[in-house]
Amino acid sequence: MVIVRLLLWLLIFYVFFRLARFVGRTLATIRVLNQSARSTPTRSSAGDGHLIKDPQCGTYFLESEAVHAVIDGREYRFCCEKCRDAFLQERRKA
Ligand SMILES: [Zn+2]
């Protein structure tokens, strides 16, 4: 009986260990995702692999692939030239 209980405890420890590792990895992934979503575009310090939001269409895209435009002294970044042109046009109308 003692051996059975010992094996049972070993099993519980094993499952717990696996679960802890899985949770740890999942939390790390979530933290990375939150960081990239929260990072707002800071001027010109272009870090590759950062996700930024297109002010025109709201899409998240890589900072390194951004289309730049300076409007009224502020730098804007867009996912494509189409969005930049549309944004400029709306600005001109307003
Ligand atoms: Zn866009």
Same structural domain for residues 85 and 52? yes
Same structural domain for residues 66 and 48? yes
- In this prediction the pTM is 0.47
Residues with CB under 5 A from ligand 1 (ion): 54, 57, 59, 79, 83
Same structural domain for residues 32 and 47? no
Q: Residue 66 burial by CB count (10 A; 0-12/13-18/19+): exposed, middle or buried?
A: buried
Q: Which domain holds residue 72?
A: 41-94
Q: Tell me the average pLDDT of the chain.
A: 86
Per-residue confidence (pLDDT) for residue 35, from 0 to 100:
75
Distance 82 CA to ligand 1 centre (A): 7
User: How far apart, in whole angstroms, are the C-alpha atoms of residue 90 and residue 53?
Assistant: 18
What is the per-residue pLDDT across 3-15, written as a single tens digit (0 to 9) for each?
899 999 999 999 9
Same structural domain for residues 59 and 28? no
Q: Which residue has the tokens 């209980």?
A: 5
Say yes or no to pLDDT of 46 above 80: no
Say yes or no to pLDDT of 81 above 80: yes
Distance 57 CA to ligand 1 centre (A): 4
At 82, the pLDDT band (50, 70, 90 cuts) reads very high
